Amino acid sequence: MIEFQLNRPGILFVLSAPSGGGKSTLLRELLSADESMEYSVSVTTRPPRGDEQDGREYHFRTESEFKRLLAANAFVESAVVHGNYYGTLRSEVEERIAEGADVVLDIDVQGSLKLKKERPDTVLVFVLPPSIATLEKRLRSRGLDDERAIRTRLENARHELKYANLYDYVLVNERIEDTIDSLRQVVTGERHRAHRMVLNDALGEIEFIKPQREQMVGAG
Ligand code: 5GP
């Protein structure tokens, strides 16, 4: 019999990386091998690309629908990225967290920092390319963008990279297998942090002292 029970609410993880940084591969690997991790599908006003499906990659909405959701306080965070609106729905996050599932968000730097301010317990992970030159090579070799789009992406990357030090974790993505390993270690480590846990003794012999609120916030 397990006498000591460990319970905790779910954790909100944020993964940010410049485009071409390997983020979608990392997310796919993380989600496919981890049943307690769920992906939060954002709302966006940008049109679908390629074979993207409504409700899978994004909830694709018009600008007026987006603004209606915004006014109804339906988002935990939202931002304008490359001229389009993006937002994380409260409904994608809060219920799952309350039920103990962990949720991962793929959002930009502005959204991540806003979220961290409001919910200090959010875990921010930044994936850095080994260099701008490598990023440029990767963007070119995947062949998805024309020259102008590559220039814009590199410019955005240079801007976003500046904020990496404000995240909780930075992973330099040199070999994708190693980066996935490190990401899993971050997730495992965060899941074991004492301040997130509610400890209970089934036999009632020990009454665990709960961490103070300041400790919880400070540790998040
Ligand atoms: P894309 O249009 O290429 O899928 O995404 C563009 C950028 O928007 C990426 O950096 C992505 O992380 C970010 N993004 C996607 N969903 C959200 C969201 O809900 N909130 C914020 N703040 N950024 C998002």
Question: How many Å apart are CA 206 and CA 29, to the nearest integer?
Answer: 40
pLDDT number for residue 213: 64
Sign of CA pseudo-dihedral 170, 36, 48, 52: positive
Judge if pTM exceeds 0.85: yes
Is the C-beta atom of 57 inside 6 A of ligand 1? no
Confidence check: pLDDT of 217 > 50: no
Percent of the chain with pLDDT over 70: 96
* pLDDT score, position 210: 87
Closest-lying ligand 1 atom to the alpha carbon of residue 112: 22
Residue closest via CA to ligand 1's atom 22 equals 111
- Which of 2-6, 56-60, 63-67, 163-167 is predicted least confidently? 2-6
Calpha distance 123→167 (Å, rounded):
8
Q: With 50 as the cut, is the pLDDT of residue 219 above it? A: no
Separation CA 107–CA 35 (nearest Å): 21
H or E element: which one contains 71?
helix 63-71
CB distance 66 to ligand 1 below 6 Å: no
pLDDT for 146: 86
Q: What pLDDT, on a 0 to 100 scale, did the predictor assign at position 159?
A: 94
Give pairs for 93-98: CB < 8 Å, separation 24+.
Answer: 93/12, 93/40, 96/10, 96/38, 97/9, 97/10, 97/11, 97/12, 98/9, 98/10
In this structure, which residue's CA is closest to atom 9 in ligand 1? 108
In this structure, are strands 42-44 and 58-60 parallel, antiparallel, or unpaired? Answer: parallel
Band of the pLDDT at 215, cuts 50, 70, 90? low
With beta carbons less than 8 A apart as the criterion, state whether 158 and 112 touch: no
Q: Which atom of ligand 1 is nearest to the CA of 87?
A: 19
pLDDT of res. 211: 83
H/E element, 25: helix 23-32
Lowest mean pLDDT among 2-16, 92-106, 118-132, 136-150: 136-150
Q: What is the pLDDT of residue 218?
A: 40
- For 130-140, how does the pLDDT look when each residue is reduced to its tens digit (9 = 90+)? 999 999 999 89
Mean pLDDT of the chain: 92
pLDDT tens track for 46-95? 999 889 999 999 999 999 999 999 999 999 999 998 889 999 999 999 99
What's the rounded mean pLDDT across residues 206-212? 88
Residue 161 pLDDT > 50, yes or no?
Answer: yes
* Separation of alpha carbons 182 and 3, rounded Å: 32
Better pLDDT: 187 or 2? 187
160 lines ligand 1 (CB under 6 A): no
Structure-block tokens of residue 44: 């966006």
The angle formed by the CA atoms of residues 112, 114 and 117, to the nearest 5 degrees, is 110
In sequence order, which residues have a C-beta less than 8 Å from that of residue 66 and are 6 or more positions away?
A: 43, 45, 85, 87
Assigned architecture for domain 4-40+102-201: 3-Layer(aba) Sandwich (3.40)
Q: Is the CB of 115 under 6 A from ligand 1?
A: no
Q: Residue ranges per domain, the chain?
A: 4-40+102-201
Q: How confident is the model at residue 10 (pLDDT cuts 50, 70, 90)?
A: very high
User: Residues 187, 14: contact at Cβ < 8 Å?
Assistant: no
For the record, the structure tokens of 5 come out as 């029970």
